[in-house]
């Protein structure tokens, strides 16, 4: 596996990877953007990228632009050596690990991607500027890699929706593939931030997913009111002493607009403080 740290290394190695495929056509490139401290959720996206493209590149970059003041930029978990081993074992062809200076050689970019009103809801309502930072770094990575395909996890549901929208609205010509949420055995969505949890918090954290599963069951039994389902999720989560719901909302899967009645594909999305750690999760609902 190639490790590139500078723009020159990246350009050189991408050129080598882009040679002709065995059948003579140009090799396609799949990109998996991450912030590192990798787990099975990230690695499942590498598998999806391998299915969708001839060569797979992964970026590992903790993007300062997407962190707000008082958030966890300075203590975000990192383990570069382990990330490299995991990616190599999973069959990635290239990993790009730029410094902040490499990624942003002119300092903070003056021109950024405006995510529009779809960033004013769900996580965006509580993290001003977050999705501007995400879309800006993803657009920059698309420019650096020129991938044919890029893979994003559904765990970050709003992020995936906004990236699909950016690619469409800005004609970026990258195929977006979404990967399902990968969970621990007890249902907790895998996240690099789970490393922050104390044993007591970790023991209560699966209550987040259980509340979403229960919502799915109620919908399966015939409940169609989004308000009733959302209130049930919140109540179930907040019954845990160490969990506090920031939002629990039912939205349209493509527009992120709130729904009154649950339809097929309606997404139930939550952000929950588990102690001081903010975790997110979501499920897709299917009325009978
Ligand atoms: P991050 O390193 O948190 O920025 O995540 C990088 C990519 O991995 C994003 O597309 C995430 O949605 C995805 N991802 C993170 N956790 C999971 C998970 N548990 N299941 C599936 N994808 C995930």
- Answer yes or no: is the C-beta of 250 below 6 A from any ligand 1 atom: no
- Answer yes or no: is the C-beta of 45 below 6 A from any ligand 1 atom: yes
Is 31 in contact with 143 (CB distance < 8 Å)? no
pLDDT digits (tens, 9 = 90+) for 29-66: 999 999 999 999 999 999 999 999 999 999 999 999 99
pLDDT digits (tens, 9 = 90+) for 225-284: 999 999 999 999 999 999 999 999 999 999 999 999 999 999 999 999 999 999 999 999
Q: How many C-beta atoms surround the C-beta of residue 104 within 10 A?
A: 17
How far is ligand 1, taken at its centre, from the CA of residue 24, in Å? Answer: 34
Reported pTM: 0.98
Residue 288 has pLDDT above 90, yes or no: no
**Cα gap 193→172, rounded to integer Å:** 30
**Cα gap 136→128, rounded to integer Å:** 14
Is 33 in contact with 141 (CB distance < 8 Å)? yes
**Cα gap 104→89, rounded to integer Å:** 30
pLDDT value of residue 21: 84
How far is ligand 1, taken at its centre, from the CA of residue 20, in Å? Answer: 31
**Cα gap 59→85, rounded to integer Å:** 14
Is 109 in contact with 136 (CB distance < 8 Å)? yes
| Catalytic residue (one of 39, 42, 130, 209) | 42
pLDDT value of residue 206: 98
Q: Which atom of ligand 1 is nearest to the CA of 151?
A: 10
The average pLDDT across 159-183 equals 98
**Cα gap 186→174, rounded to integer Å:** 35
**Cα gap 15→24, rounded to integer Å:** 16
pLDDT value of residue 132: 98
Tokens of 26: 């140009």
Residue 18 has pLDDT above 90, yes or no: no
Q: pLDDT band at 105, cuts 50/70/90?
A: very high
pLDDT value of residue 139: 98
- Answer yes or no: is the C-beta of 192 below 6 A from any ligand 1 atom: yes
């Amino acid at each position: 596996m190639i490790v590139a740290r500078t723009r020159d290394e990246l350009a050189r190695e991408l050129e080598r990877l882009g040679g002709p495929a065995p059948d003579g056509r140009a090799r396609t490139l799949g990109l998996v953007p991450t912030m590192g401290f990798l787990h099975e959720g990230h690695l499942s996206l590498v598998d999806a990228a391998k299915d969708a493209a001839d060569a797979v590149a992964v970026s590992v970059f903790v993007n300062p632009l997407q962190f707000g003041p008082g958030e966890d930029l300075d203590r975000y978990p990192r383990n570069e050596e382990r990330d490299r081993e995991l990616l190599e074992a999973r069959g990635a062809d290239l990993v790009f690990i730029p410094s902040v200076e490499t990624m942003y050689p002119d300092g903070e970019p003056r021109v950024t991607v405006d995510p529009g009103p779809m960033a004013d809801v769900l996580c965006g309502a509580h993290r001003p500027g977050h999705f501007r930072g995400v879309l800006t770094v993803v657009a920059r990575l698309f420019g650096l890699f020129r991938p044919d395909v890029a893979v994003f996890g559904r765990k970050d549901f709003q992020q995936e929706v906004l990236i699909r929208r950016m690619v469409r609205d800005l004609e970026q010509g990258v195929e977006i593939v979404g990967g399902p949420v990968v969970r621990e055995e007890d249902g907790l969505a895998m996240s690099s931030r789970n490393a922050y949890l104390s044993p007591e918090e970790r023991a209560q954290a699966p209550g987040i997913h259980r509340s979403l599963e229960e919502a799915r069951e109620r919908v399966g039994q015939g409940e169609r009111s989004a308000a009733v389902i959302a209130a049930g999720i919140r109540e179930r989560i907040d019954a845990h002493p160490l969990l506090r719901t920031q939002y629990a909302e039912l939205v349209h899967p493509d527009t992120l607009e709130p729904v009154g009645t649950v339809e097929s594909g309606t997404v139930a999305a939550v952000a929950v403080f588990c102690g001081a750690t903010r975790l997110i999760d979501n499920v897709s609902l299917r009325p009978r």
